[in-house]
Amino acid sequence: MKIAVLGTGGGARCHIAKLLELGHEVVVGTRDPQATLARTEPDMMGNPPFQQFLAEHPGITLLPFGEAAAAADELVISGIDGHNAVAALTVIADQLTGKTLIDYAVPFVYQHEPEHPWPTPWGIMPKLEPVDTDSLGEQIQRALPRTRVVKSFVTQEQSTVVNPAGVGGGDHTMFVAGDHADAKQQTAALLKSYGWTDILDLGPLVAARGMEMYAHMHSAIGFGLGQQFGGHFGIKVVR
- Judged by DSSP in three states, 64 sits in strand
Tell whether residue 234 is a contact of ligand NAP (CB under 6 A).
no
| Residue 136 CA, distance from chain mean position | 12
What x/- string results for residues 104 through 143 when contact with ligand NAP is judged by CB under 6 A?
Answer: xxx-x-----------------------------------
Burial class (CB in 10 A: 0-12, 13-18, 19+), 191: buried
Stretch that binds ligand NAP, among 2-10, 137-145, 171-179, 189-197 (CB under 6 A): 2-10
Q: Write the CB contacts of 226 (distance below 8 Å, at least 6 apart in sequence).
A: none
The correct pick among 79, 137, 222, 231 for binding ligand NAP (CB under 6 A) is: 79
CA distance 210 to 202: 10
State the minimum distance, in angstroms, from the CB of residue 200 to ligand NAP: 17
The correct pick among 4, 18, 26, 30 for binding ligand NAP (CB under 6 A) is: 30
The correct pick among 81, 134, 179, 201 for binding ligand NAP (CB under 6 A) is: 81
Cβ proximity of 66 and 27 under 8 Å: no
Nearest to 3 by CA among 14, 89, 23, 11: 23
Tell whether residue 176 is a contact of ligand NAP (CB under 6 A).
no
Tell whether residue 8 is a contact of ligand NAP (CB under 6 A).
yes
